[in-house]
A and B are shown apart, each in its own frame.
Chain A
Amino acid sequence: MVRIQDLTRISAYEWEIPKSFRNDMRVPVRIFSTHEMLENSLDDRSLEQAINAATLPGLVGAVTIMPDMHQGYGFPIGGVAATEFPNGVISPRAIGYDINCGVRLLASSIEAEAALPYLEMLSVRLNQLCPSGVGTDGIVNLALPELDHVLKEGSHWAFKNGYANETDLRRTEENGMLTGAKPEKVSDRARKRGKSQLGSLGAGNHFIEVDVVDEIFNEKAASTMGLHTGMLAVQIHCGSRGLGHQICSDYVQEFQTAIQRYGIKVPDRELVCAPMDSPEGVAYLGAMRAAANFAFANRQLLAHAARQAFVDVFAGHFKDWQLHQVYDIAHNMGKLEFHEVEGRRLKVCVHRKGATRAFGPGAPGLPPEYQEIGQPVLVPGSMGTASWVLVGTRTSMLRSFGSSCHGARRVMSRSQAKKEIHGNRLRLELEDRGIHVQAGSMSELAEEAPQAYKDVDMVVETVTKVDIARKVARLMPVVVIKG
């Protein structure tokens, strides 16, 4: 049981659990949080999970926890952990079930005020063109050999097949394709689940949202990204669907025995792992990259469908109805990157579970137009509340392995939300506030109600105070599509 007095206060927004707190910790835990948010975190097991995560072999620096932390499976959501390549471990749960769950942001030059009469029609058209909900097939149904191309090429497969443009690729993390994907390390089960799901949103907390750019905080960065006050933008939040879940489940099951072979002790069986240079570690890394590529292609196909909805609704009414990609970023991912740790430049696997990459200006891998401003960081809020666009900083490279927060923090259980909130009533309340909602299930809508989450604004405030990201723009929703 962790108590607030077990933590060392570094500043009003930064805390540490020292390595000496528990014998099996290999590195300290560094937490970005306010005192109030930290106290709330004591209600679940997120801090205990962070301490458990700090026992993984090969860790360097500190396990870093973002202010939107909450309890996950073995590894806390909002956690970042870097293990040294090649002997350190890779842990599937420190990346997550939904491999490369992430967010894509598209900007437009359509004035929200002028678009008001068309928004309901837009919500219907988006819902028709972007498959969502339980058991729904995707935009394309692939033959298994074609699926292998998606697993290897990600968004580049979408480009070759007419679903993407060059800007989309340039403005996607890793250009929408992780090299080193190994489709042959993906099980038949995972492939079968994936082949019919490409271009689908799924259910749970995934969504497509049309927003208004409500306020700009950094004119230069916003303008570079194509974000202007009062204009419509689109966010797409989803991941690798059943394929990614199956890969994670397969390897967590396999790693239950792998840890015994490598003599690794973990305090929670959800934290099972394997050395990156072991056959099991190499296989998982290859399969995880394949799932990540599937997710990049998935969001790309949904973006293509969203563009079609904009054409169908706005063409002829507005001079420019195009949707331009701002960025696409993962928040469940394991990546091999170079970072400076205690004066040494190390190749590490950065596990980000519910945390986004947040590279600062001049970092490798950013498109030329973002070199000066830093990488866009997309932080969706809970349904009906603000979302944020931030940029990464040079500080994040030094303090959080180039990472930042990923969203709002869940505080109410799904069963409690379902009891307390009526889906239909919530929908009417949102409609009263001018937010058009399309949802496959009213009970799932209730589970994702804004009341179930802590406000994202305080999360954003915290990451800006510790300077791992800076504010660019705030978005407010006008259309929500839920599975």
Chain B
Amino acid sequence: MGFNEIKHTADWALLIWGENIETLFKEAARGMYALMSAQSSQTPRRIYEFSTYQTNLESQLVSFLSELLYCTEQEELIFDSFYFKLSDGGFAVKMEGSNITSIQRQIKAVTFHNLEIKQSNQGYQVEIVFDV
């Protein structure tokens, strides 16, 4: 599991991989926070719950990451622990995190640009482009 930054002319992009869908989504969150250079206070711990039901995994991923972006801006929260409960057509996730202490770079949106979750030798991988 992991992520790498990849070249994109006008924006930021990540290659993300994980052995299963939950890991892939967690790595996507970690990668996005890394691009933003987001730091948190670690304590006190905050719990946040989110669920999404979309027609495909790509839409679910965009929905999940968009929620995290919303939380950085409006709740001033970033998360480091994720507990997914997958079901048909979506998932619920319980997240733990803490207040943001600093963010260096703003990501404005998660895009569907070339977004395709593929199966690989390592499990799953996806490229995500962020609008900045």
Chain A interface residues toward B at CB < 8 A: 44, 70-74, 77, 97-98, 134-135, 189, 192-193, 202-204, 242, 245-246, 248-249, 252-253, 256-257, 269-270, 410-416, 441, 443-444, 483
Contact = CB atoms under 8 A, between A and B. Distances in A.
B83 to A, nearest CB: 23
Contacts of A257: 55
Contacts of B74: 192-193
A249 B66 contact: yes
B111 A270 contact: yes
A204 B132 contact: yes
Given A414-B12, A415-B5, A253 B63 contact: yes
Interface stretch (B18-26, B41-49, B101-109, B117-125): B101-109
Contact of A134 (B9, B63, B106, B129): B106
Nearest to B100: A135
Nearest to B74: A192
Contacts of B105: 134, 203, 441, 443-444
Contacts of A204: 106, 108, 132
A134 B7 contact: no
B81 interface: no
Contacts, number: 92
A252 B8 CA distance: 21
B117 to A, nearest CB: 13
Nearest to B55: A257
B114 to A, nearest CB: 8
B50 interface: no
A411 B129 contact: no
B99 to A, nearest CB: 12
Given A71-B10, A204-B132, A269 B112 contact: yes
Interface residues of B, number: 33
B10 A414 contact: yes
Contacts of B7: 413, 415-416
B59 A73 contact: no
A106 to B, nearest CB: 26
Contacts of A443: 104-105
Contacts of B5: 415
Contacts of B58: 269
A135 B72 CA distance: 9
A379 B37 CA distance: 32
A203 B12 CA distance: 14
B49 to A, nearest CB: 16
B20 to A, nearest CB: 23
Contact of A242 (B56, B108, B110): B108
